[in-house]
Structure 1
Amino acid sequence: RGDLKQEYDIVIVGGGMVGATLACALATRAGTKTLSVLIVDSQPPAGQSAKTGEAAPTHESFDSRSTALSASSRLILERFGLWSGLGAGACPINKIHVSDQGRFGATKLDSADFDVPALGYVVENAVFGAALNATLEQLTHCAVLAPARVTSANPSTNGMTIELTGDEVGLSSESSRVEAKLLVVAEGGRSPLCEQLGIVRSNEDYGQHALIANVGLSQPHEGVAFERFTSTGPLAMLPLLPVAGEQRASLVWTLDADESEQIAALDDAMLLARLQDKFGGRLGRLQRIGARAIYPLSLRVAREQIRPGLVLLGNVAHTLHPVAGQGMNLSLRDIDALVATLDEASYEEGALGSMSTLRRYLAAREADQSLMISVTDGLTKLFSSDAQAKVWLRKAGLLSIDLIPALKKTFGARAMGFE
């Protein structure tokens, strides 16, 4: 509490993957090194385990889930100075295999065909969190207030006036007030602050849930990421680094909402048998499943991403279906563009949270955001239907991509985030 100042250049609400990455990224730009940053997070601080090499943060964003990072995301994280803490814990994706269950036609991508070391990487969120924590600890201009929450945020002459509460960090029961030139909301898809600000978000419920767990394998995955489209939706098996000699994959299994309840009730043996039947034997016998988590899936897009002194980032701006694994990759590109824009604005008095500055940022990002929203939504609907026309279109599409070099090159470049 004693370190809390009355004024900050930037206040970030949300200390999860997006908010913490933004704070770290701001420190890498020459023009933003002197900006004061405050992270306000409702979760307790993550365990400071990165220094010991043990990835065991307690923040709910940094749990046993994993994140698929494209090759272009690695380049962004390198610019942010974060990849050095992530690389050793990242499993390279050497190949991608996309297929439609029970039907002829598949697409295969190989890093060797694109002359890149890897098509992408899979990083466990706990490892990501540990790397972020280690970097945040070194930032003298960045303070973290957690657990605490923002009770209100209102426009002021110089940006935003923010009211904070947090008994555990010494704010007592009364709100404390800080001023910020720019308020960044990055607290996830269920942001209370976004609702309090009256920002409307479109919401399309897919009627699907994602079952997420780590799976033990009987044979090496050889860096192959599998995406298998089933009648209920996509089933992804993403390669993970081995632990104690065990080969592992990260499962993201999309299920109809009703079916997800039945699947969740199965014991491990029955669940593995059901999963084996759906996925097949490409990874040998599926022999162990870890802790499970189930999340409802929807497409949510904020109708406003910017206001004077305010910007939305991450899932609060756009929550995508995980079909293409592009949520965090899209957010990293948003962060990269925002930091570059703020870098320029930091030299101008009063420009940090101005609408002219934030419009430049949004103009740079709208096309990419719209494309990824359309692609993920279209793929979800195309591959979750058994309508004959869509079945034919899927088969033709997968075969065309695999057989036509120009299409395959374009598809691969998009998968790596380079187009």
Structure 2
Amino acid sequence: MSSYHDTVIVGGGLVGGLTALLLARSGIEAMVLDAARALDEESITANMDSRVLALNPATIHLLKLVQVWPLIQRYAPYTGMHVWNKNGAGDIEFGHTSQDRPPESEWLGAMVEPSILNLAIQQRMKAVLAFYHTDVSIVDILQVQNQWQINLKNGESIQTRLLIGADGAKSFVRQQANIDLKVLDYQQSAIGCAIHTELPNQYVARQIFLPTGPLAYLPIASETDGFWQSIVWTLPTSLCEQYMQYSDDEFAQQLTQSSLYMLGQVKAIRRRASFPLKACTAEHYVLPGLALVGDAAHVIHPLAGQGVNIGCLDAAVLCDTLVKSLSKTTEWGGIDVLKHYAQRRKMHNELMMHGMTAMEWLQSSSVSSVIWARSFGLKQVNQSNYLKKFFMKQASGLSILKQTIYNY
């Protein structure tokens, strides 16, 4: 059994779903093949995820454009960020604390559980897309003349002129296309879990740089709004393995002390898990008739929480490039069009990746001259409204959207 579609997207998560919905907004119909199963709304909404994604204003704007944002059933906005280093003076505070749930005009962004976000994306794709398939198993992907052929486990074969790989860090599309991956192993791992704290977060995202690596407390939506946080604790892998062996009570006490009582005592732990930290980038974002977006193209250190946002910017820039190409006498998904997308995104993403690597080293260094320079730099930024506004503008992602048809 064989079929043809001009555009096929492999991966139906945030980035893949956003790509399909942005194309649909311009009247371009894509087929989405998602390996994940259809999500159960009751199960997803009843259980708090231990992780959150920090969505910046650009990502929130894009989700509103494709009408996903109203479907997100819970999220925690944040109006402030506080970053400091345990060893050395100086810290940076952006925005402000809030006692009550803040109006959207004051947000710096919002924290959303991945499961809640994926549910909303899936609901919208079901409503909009004619060719959206879940629980799909792909056997192989072949380049046949000027098309790509996707062979499924059920015996179906799909041909397409444009194949978009949005299937995550272990991208099968990237592997089948024989695109090499450059990997930087940090020799670190991170522990993630949900914690209940003694003090409320006041809608502030906090991060302290410890000698072992950064520890982030991120607001998470709950019925007792403000007292649940999602943590990302970067550690040397050996220490991470040690902490993962602790009981919940032992881990809570270790976390309380290591965080310098950031929000008082840690009173409860939920769903603790660990994962290795690596940065990677695909050697090529595009081939004739093929483009990679999101984690399929790049993965960065999580210390600034920007990975998901640069993936959404990939989706926006790719769709912008494709939609604009329709007014020209160019082949759909032609290599010149796709190269333009790659030129617009690859350097920006690699600068972000290497910037996060440098920042992690700088903040974790115990060299006295580095500590002095780091403390001086933090003080200078914190005292300069101009520098604060500059960094906040870059983190918002809105300057990238201004160059697209999805201008904020």
Same fold flag (TM > 0.5): yes
SS of alignment partner, residue 152 of structure 2? strand
Counterpart pick for 1:6 among 3, 7, 13? 3
- Supply the distance in 1 between the matched residues of 2:294 and 2:305 (Cα, whole angstroms): 14
* Higher mean C-alpha deviation, range 320-329 or range 179-188: 179-188
Residue 152, structure 1, aligned to residue 149, structure 2: no
Q: CA deviation at 1:134?
A: 1.2
SS of residue in 1 equivalent to 2:227: strand
Q: Which deviations, in whole Å up to 9, do the C-alpha atoms of 1:99-155 show, x marking residues without a partner? A: 00143210000169xx95211110011110111121011024332142312412214
Secondary structure of the 1:136 match is helix
Match of 1:138 in 2: 127
2:150 corresponds, among 129, 143, 162, to: 162
The whole-number CA distance in structure 1 between the counterparts of 2:365 and 2:91 is: 17
Partner of 1:97: 82
Residue by residue over 1:347-398, the C-alpha shift from the partner in whole angstroms, topping out at 9 and shown as x without a partner, is 5676221011112212222342233122212112212322223222221221
More divergent stretch after superposition (366-375 vs 393-402): 366-375
Question: Is the partner of 1:356 in helix, strand or coil?
Answer: helix
Equivalent residue for 2:33?
40
1:276 shift after superposition: 0.7
Alpha-carbon RMSD: 2.3
Matches within 5 A, 1:6-405: 6-29=3-26, 33-35=27-29, 37-47=30-40, 49=41, 55=45, 64-86=50-72, 89-110=74-95, 116-157=105-146, 159-165=147-153, 171=154, 175-243=155-223, 247-346=227-326, 351-405=331-385
2:403 equivalent to 1:415 = no
Report the TM-score when normalising by structure 2: 0.90
Q: Give 1:246 deviation, angstroms.
A: 7.2
Kindly, what percent of the aligned residue pairs are identical?
28
Residues 156 and 347 of structure 1, relative CA distance in 2, 3 Å threshold: farther
Structure 2 CA distance for partners of 1:287 and 1:18, relative to 1, 3 Å = same
Q: Which amino acid aligns with 1:332?
A: C
Provide TM-score, normalisation by structure 1: 0.88
SS state of the match for residue 127, structure 2?
Answer: coil
Kindly indicate whether the alpha-carbon contact (under 8 Å) linking 1:24 and 1:132 is maintained by their aligned counterparts in 2. no
CA gap of 1:385–1:373, structure 2 versus 1, over 3 A, is: same
| 1:84 Cα deviation from its structure 2 partner | 1.7
Q: Deviations over 1:164-199 (max 9, x none)?
A: 21xxxxx1xxx4211111111111112233223211
Provide, for residues 188-215 of structure 1, a one-character-per-residue CA deviation record: whole Å limited to 9, x for no partner.
1122332232111111100111111111
Question: Whole-Å Cα distance in 1 between the matches of residues 143 and 257 of structure 2?
Answer: 54
Distance 1:5 1:79 in 2: 34
2:403 aligns with: none
1:82 and 1:310 mapped to 2: Cα distance?
26
CA distance in 1, matches of 2:225, 2:286: 48
Q: Any idea what SS the aligned residue of 2:397 has?
A: coil
Count residues in correspondence.
393
The separation in 1 between residues aligned to 2:295 and 2:46, in whole angstroms, is 23
1:54–1:301 Cα change, 3 Å:
closer
- State how far apart, in whole Å, the 2-side matches of 1:327 and 1:101 are: 25
**Which 10-residue stretch deviates more, 75-84 or 241-250?**
241-250
Query: 1:81, CA displacement in angstroms?
Result: 2.0
Q: 1:163/1:252 Cα in 2 relative to 1: closer, same or farther (>3 Å)? A: same
SS of equivalent to 2:235: strand
Contact 1:34-1:141 at 8 Å conserved across structures: no
**CA-CA distance at 1:293 after TM superposition:** 1.6
User: What is the CA–CA distance in structure 1 between the aligned matches of 2:171 and 2:369, rounded to whole Å?
Assistant: 39
- 2:96–2:204 CA contact under 8 A, matched in 1: no
Q: C-alpha separation between the residues in 2 aligned to 1:145 and 1:92?
A: 30
Mapped to 2, the partners of 1:346 and 1:179 lie a distance apart of 21
Question: Whole-Å Cα distance in 2 between the matches of residues 269 and 65 of structure 1?
Answer: 20
1:222 offset after TM fit, Å?
Answer: 0.9
| Bigger shift: residues 295-304 or 190-199 | 190-199
Gaps of 5+ in 1: 166-170
1:340 alignment partner, SS class: helix
Secondary structure at 2:314 match in 1: helix
Distance of 2:212 and 2:279 partners within structure 1 = 17
- Conserved in 1, the CA contact under 8 Å of 2:87 and 2:211? no
CA distance in 1, matches of 2:192, 2:16: 23
Q: In the alignment, residue 320 of structure 2 is paired with which amino acid?
A: A
Distance in 2, Cα, partners of 1:323 & 1:356? 35
Q: For residue 55 of structure 1, report the CA deviation from its aligned partner.
A: 2.7
Q: Distance in 1 between matches of 2:309 and 2:225?
A: 30
Residues in 2 aligned to 1:347 and 1:161: alpha-carbon distance in whole angstroms: 27
Counterpart position of 1:168: none
How far apart in 2 are the matches of 1:245 and 1:116?
A: 20
